[in-house]
A and B are shown apart, each in its own frame.
Chain A
Amino acid sequence: MAKSAGALEKVGRSAEERGGENKGERTRARIRSAFCELLAHKSFAAITISDICRTADITVGGFYFHFPNQDALLDEVIGEYGDDLGVALDAAMAVKGTDQARSICAALVCAYQDCNGLARTFQQLRRTRSEYAARWRAITDPRIVRLAAILARERPDLSAPKAAFLAHALITMVVSQLDLTFVYDRSRTLTTATALTKNLTLLWRRMAECPSP
């Protein structure tokens, strides 16, 4: 089954390269978007293959033609979400000067807000399954290293480990606040993207740039 799904993926890709679109490819896309739609309201553990098939309006056989199991589908959508998040963070970190903090905060807010179900699922998975914890690290670690280098350049008084600690703390701060809003769904937290970004940027700047009294 896994083999045929792999083969199909290749067929699908080459169809895409030609600019065409075949039925198999459309079905695969439908499965993925149905799954994401379900994730927006439900925990991944509570979603069944028949839920996905019902939402995507396909047969169970159709599902198994494209994915060997539900974990493979989860793996694929989270993988793509993670890649996108990495790209967005890199772009935000390329911003120079005082706007950098806001760009990074905004990129993370956007990653959570636009893909609410996926963001929540990734955070749940990284706490419950070690392979997803490793994946999360693979996305955040290189960016934290890069941020630490930027902080060390701006703040020559910081030792290398302290710059690394601060970089880690800043990213964690943003993620923790977004978890409050999107993962735990706490009613008292800020909801609009603008308000969230503004408050996160404020906290970031206070943590990173506080002068001595």
Chain B
Amino acid sequence: MPLAMTTQNASKSASKRDTGGRRQSRSERTRQKIKDAAIRLLDRQNYFELTISEICREAGVATGGFYFHYEKKADLIEELVREHNTGFWSSLMISLDYRDLYSAVFSASAALVKAYFEAPGLVRCFNQLAMVDRVFVKLWEDHATEWASRLVVMVDPGARAVHESNAYRLLAFADLLLFDLCIEKEPALVAAAGSVEEVTENLAVLWYRALIGKSPPPGRLALPNRQLNV
């Protein structure tokens, strides 16, 4: 997009801003409309195939309006992904407030399941970007490393078998399983997985077992069907 247009819009908006707060909030509303439209489209569409004109059509915003807020598609997407990530990682870190490993792992499983079920488009987009851009891999790595190191510290001395590398790696396992379930929607997996509650619990059970080599105490399992527990 020509730079001239951005500059022009910028100066126009500067003069609008001088007239009072109302105009500025309209501009914020437009920005939000663009973001919401992109999230909706990403739920059904591949990031690489998504075009700016589609986003504008969905948002009911002129193309010029888009370029006023963002220089290019990637800028919008990066903002969305970062916002979603911030929410996800903070809910994952909350899992570390629990004092016992199973509760922590269950809470982490719930946070991951929620992120995937609530905004599958954004999560897929993040995964696609991580495939082509190290910046996104780094974002994941930094948070996952912090989470894993804190999980390991929290574990009681009786469960020393847990080590940080597996804690870190198993986050990637949960991530890929949910990717196949919520984004690829692999029919066989969807059929086997059951409800959201079942997915959350079964994932937590497998995660816990892989970490310390024991099943969680049966009393800890909420669902009546404890099929994965021997």
Contact = CB atoms under 8 A, between A and B. Distances in A.
For the residues of A in contact with B, the DSSP-based class is helix
B62 interface: no
Interface in B175-211: 175-177, 179-180, 184, 186, 188-189, 191-194, 202-203, 206, 209-210
Nearest to B217: A213
A157 B215 CA distance: 15
A88 interface: no
Given A162-B228, A177-B169, A210 B132 contact: no
A213 B214 contact: yes
Contacts of B227: 157-159, 162
Contact of B180 (A164, A168, A212): A168
Contact of B175 (A158, A176, A189): A176
Nearest to B131: A124
Q: Which of under 10, 10 to 19, 20 to 34, or 35 or more describes the interface residues of A?
A: 35 or more
Interface string A152-189: 00010111011011101100110111011001101011
A190 B213 CA distance: 20
Contact of A179 (B176, B202, B214, B229): B176
A146 B172 CA distance: 24
Given A128-B128, A165-B192, A172 B176 contact: yes
Interface stretch (A19-27, A90-98, A137-145): A137-145
Contact of B173 (A126, A177, A213): A177
A157 B230 contact: yes
B188 A203 contact: no
For the residues of B in contact with A, the DSSP-based class is helix
Interface residues of B, number: 47
B188 A168 contact: yes
Most A CB atoms within 10 A — which of B137, B166, B210, B216?
Answer: B210
Nearest to B145: A188
A188 B131 contact: no
Interface string A53-96: 00000000000000000000000000000000000000000000
Given A128-B48, A180-B172, A210-B209, 19 more contacts: A124-B131, A127-B127, A128-B131, A129-B46, A141-B186, A145-B188, A158-B227, A164-B191, A165-B193, A166-B206, A169-B177, A176-B177, A180-B169, A206-B210, A207-B206, A207-B210, A210-B215, A211-B214, A212-B218
Interface of A: 43, 45, 123-124, 126-130, 133, 137, 141, 144-145, 148, 155, 157-159, 161-162, 164-166, 168-169, 172-173, 175-177, 179-180, 183-184, 186, 188-190, 199, 203, 206-207, 209-213
